[in-house]
Structure 1
Amino acid sequence: MKYQDIIQQINNKVYQPVYFLMGEESYYTDKISDYISENVLTQEEKEFNQITLYGKDTDVATVISEAKQFPFGSAYRVVIIKEAQEIKKIEDLEIYLDNPLPSTILVICYKYKKIDKRKSFGKNLSKKCILFDSKKLYENQIPSWIKTEVKEQGFSIDDKSANILTQYLGNDLSKINNELSKLVLHLKKGEQITPKIIEDNIGISKDFNVFELQNALGIKDVLKSNQIIKYFSENPKNHPFVLTLSSLFTFFQKVMIYQNLKDKNSKNAASALGVNPYFVSQFQTASRNYPMKKLFKIFTYLKEYDLKSKGINNTSTADKELLKELTFKILH
């Protein structure tokens, strides 16, 4: 079952005896368990009918014992198990799944991993409870996710800002959501998150960031490229060399993909590159400036400087000097 469907059921007061929430992405697992915690019972009912246990401090027997208790002064009892991946022999819960108490809503948060659905316990979970598998989003899915989240909160965000946040925060949805929460505090409903707002409130420079470095390299703007890497060198904690390398690899990989496309219309190119159509022109320009032969050299440089950053064939050159050398080789 999908996240939206689970929330809709809860809003309609259609509750299931057991929710097993698992997967590598903890954001939605937390959202569902928090939503159940906040919306099923009234504040008065929670005092006697809602309990939260933690996997490292409990066991299957205790969970079953709590789940089998009848509610007091309420139609339901809510039992939430956080960090359930820490429970030993969690498959022993199967005996409860066979005959759950209808008045109990048992929420099991099995985070950062998943149960093997090919095995007996996994198969029974699929049949006997609401099984939610929260998968990590790929990085190219994050900008559109950010735009959707911001819209749901009553604000908007431009494409460039969504990509800046993605470059710096990766695909950790909880981390992104925390930063978005900081940003919207400074906005009125309906207003837009811009690079300037991001710079003022999170500290990611609107002019000197990885996204702007990619753009400067793409158009072969030597001055701008050197200004950005100078800023990076002066702020190494916010711009670690290894992350810059990773970002440049992804950028030039997409430039190569664009060059190899037979159909280069905006919609098809955006789909192939995993970017918003707004950014296709960036790769179109870079494709003209970097022929295939040069791209192969760039990938060689990236590998070489990745090794040097790890101390291989390099005993004394600092990261900031490595970045200068790499940028020079890419541009010339």
Structure 2
Amino acid sequence: MDEAIQIVNDIRKGIIRPIYFLFGEEPYYIDKISDFITNEVLTEEEKGFNQMVLYGKDVSIDDLVSNAKRYPMMSERQVVIVKEAQHLSRTIENLSGYAENPQETTVLVLCYKYKKLDKRKKLYKIIQKNGVIFESKKLYENQVSEWLRKNLLSSGYSISHKAAILLVEYLGTDLSRINNELEKLKLVLPKQTEITPKHIEEHIGISKDYNNFELKKAIGERNVVKATKIITYFAQNPKDNPFVLTVTLLHSFFSQLLQYHGLKDHSPKSVASALRINPYFVSEFQTAARNYPMKRVSKIISSLREMDLKGKGVGANSQTQSDLLKELLVKII
């Protein structure tokens, strides 16, 4: 995040490089930097003749270089954005010749999503010298809550810890998806608001009481009554609570619990680091570990794999989601 901010601040100061190679598994910052360059480097009058968007699946490296070598018209520079540049992965090294001597009046931006550029190869080293290389790494689940908090803080909002965890549990670690939901909240809530689970339930549609986060907690505590209420709600709202997602999240939880049992150091800081979880969740693992010994956890993981197959229609004998959820709870608790 800090590196992305630095790139944007440099451009604002007029420090503009001839090549920006944006790559990595997390598309959010790649899109943000690309959009900023698209919107800010040229004026609206200059864009007509001097801004071009190409797509990696439709062009070759030769086409790309040919466009990059054009001179701008009635402007100090031109901008060439290459979206889906990962489709050029087989020939991307052929860009080395241009990168060694890039057109100083061109800003070439390559959006190379979901792939990595080999740091051992010539192209990486040349762009590192003559341009900007930015790797957008996927955040771990325990990092997303902090990212979410900072994102809202920069916009004049705050968020309760439980609300942040609820969003991450429901939306996963896809920053673009999370950001879209945050934008919805910003449209209806005034600045200086602390976003709570109630806001999320009202405006995004995630139940603050009946969700996988609460189910996982109830199961960890062996709270049969609460867990039964939640799976009943899931059975009544199957589209919003797909069975396969529930199984996947529970499998992840018990896999981490198995890892917890194997740790020598059970201090909160050590556990959070080893399991790559938010420290907020450590107490849940401490409770679950008391309720589920290691051998029992191993059997549960095996059962969850079996239930995952049933959820995908393998050996389910046309069981309804309600039946699958009940069987799931029986096998675990």
User: TM-score when scaled to structure 2?
Assistant: 0.91
Q: Describe how 1:1-332 pairs up with structure 2 within 5 A.
A: 2-87=3-88, 89-331=91-333
- Distance of aligned partners of 1:117 and 1:267 in 2 relative to their CA distance in 1, 3 Å threshold: closer
CA distance in 2, matches of 1:313, 1:69: 61
Q: Which deviates further from its counterpart, 179-188 or 270-279? A: 270-279
CA distance in 1, matches of 2:63, 2:314: 53
CA distance in 1, matches of 2:193, 2:317: 50
Q: CA deviation at 1:72?
A: 3.1
Q: CA deviation at 1:314?
A: 3.4
CA distance in 2, matches of 1:300, 1:50: 55
Deviations 1:106-159 (A, max 9, x none): 111122223333334344333433122222222332222222222222211122
CA distance in 2, matches of 1:262, 1:116: 37
Q: Secondary structure at the match of 1:185?
A: helix
CA distance in 2, matches of 1:293, 1:68: 65
Q: CA deviation at 1:243?
A: 1.0
Deviations 1:49-73 (A, max 9, x none): 2222222333333322322222333
Specify the code of the residue in structure 2 equivalent to 1:70.
Y
- Distance of aligned partners of 1:311 and 1:47 in 2 relative to their CA distance in 1, 3 Å threshold: closer
Specify the code of the residue in structure 2 equivalent to 1:307.
L
- Distance of aligned partners of 1:164 and 1:314 in 2 relative to their CA distance in 1, 3 Å threshold: same
Specify the code of the residue in structure 2 equivalent to 1:72.
M
Cα RMSD over matched residues? Answer: 2.2
CA distance in 2, matches of 1:106, 1:304: 50
- Distance of aligned partners of 1:274 and 1:91 in 2 relative to their CA distance in 1, 3 Å threshold: closer
Q: CA deviation at 1:252?
A: 2.1
Specify the code of the residue in structure 2 equivalent to 1:300.
S
Does the CA contact (< 8 Å) of 2:20 and 2:134 recur in 1?
yes
Does the CA contact (< 8 Å) of 2:99 and 2:123 recur in 1?
no
CA distance in 1, matches of 2:159, 2:66: 48
Sequence identity (%)? 52
Specify the code of the residue in structure 2 equivalent to 1:258.
Y
Number of residue pairs matched? 331
User: TM-score when scaled to structure 1?
Assistant: 0.91
CA distance in 2, matches of 1:68, 1:258: 56
CA distance in 2, matches of 1:152, 1:249: 35
CA distance in 2, matches of 1:25, 1:195: 26
Q: Secondary structure at the match of 2:115?
A: coil
List gaps (5 residues or longer) in structure 2.
Answer: none
Runs of 4+ aligned residues of structure 1 deviating over 6 Å after TM superposition are none
- Distance of aligned partners of 1:114 and 1:261 in 2 relative to their CA distance in 1, 3 Å threshold: closer
Q: Which deviates further from its counterpart, 201-210 or 300-309? A: 300-309
Q: CA deviation at 1:226?
A: 0.7
Q: Secondary structure at the match of 2:94?
A: helix
Specify the code of the residue in structure 2 equivalent to 1:84.
A
Q: Secondary structure at the match of 2:37?
A: helix
List gaps (5 residues or longer) in structure 1.
Answer: none
